[in-house]
Structure 1
Amino acid sequence: MRFHDALRGDILADPQLAGEDFIIHRRDGLFAYNLAVVVDDHFQGVTEIVRGADLIEPTVRQLSLYKQFGWRAPDYVHLPLARTNKALNFPSRIMLLRFRQATAPGTCPGITLF
């Protein structure tokens, strides 16, 4: 399966991943994340999804569900993940402070270094 990411261009998914079975209804009776977000996004009219690059693999599963339902899939953007330098080993309160500074009105979090 191939899909287009507005930031990364065309992404070719592992054919095994694209064709594998996956859980859509959990043992506890709840619907699994992949099914829930597809149905929710479709009925809310979501046309663009922006999320972290760690969710590229679930995107492949979600696209297969859109196809099975015959629904138009939204456009995707997978952003790089914000990571810390592990050698710095910041305490959580310092990371929270830096996050609040980075997301303050008038700042651009995309270029802020943690």
Structure 2
Amino acid sequence: PKAIRVYHNEGQIDHVIHKIPEIGASVFHFGTDIQKTTDLIGDKICLMGNINPIDCMLNGTAKEVRSECLRVLHIGAAKGGFMLSTAGGMSINTPPQNINSMFEAVNQYGVGI
């Protein structure tokens, strides 16, 4: 069957990032450094991430969330194939205005399918 395979890893795997495209996943959903990950494999696999769900989404202001989302979009999308998301699960207490700020950043910068 046709399926999109997503490899999710929130761990610090800097020492093996270069191997990720070899595992056969279509998308790498990660929590590692966006610049390093994009530089190493951003032209080999679709990247997905990497907004910190606690430091940014839960504890940040709406303005900080928007700024971080735009920063990550600018870096992650530089080589194509990028989906903005959190780097892991969000807290149930994440302020709705922060989620809205994330969507607004995507609407401003992102390109839809």
Fold conserved (TM > 0.5)? no
TM-score of the two chains, using structure 2 as the length reference: 0.32
TM superposition score normalised by structure 1? 0.32
- As a proportion of its length, which structure holds more helix? 2
From the CA coordinates, give the structure whose radius of gyration is larger.
1
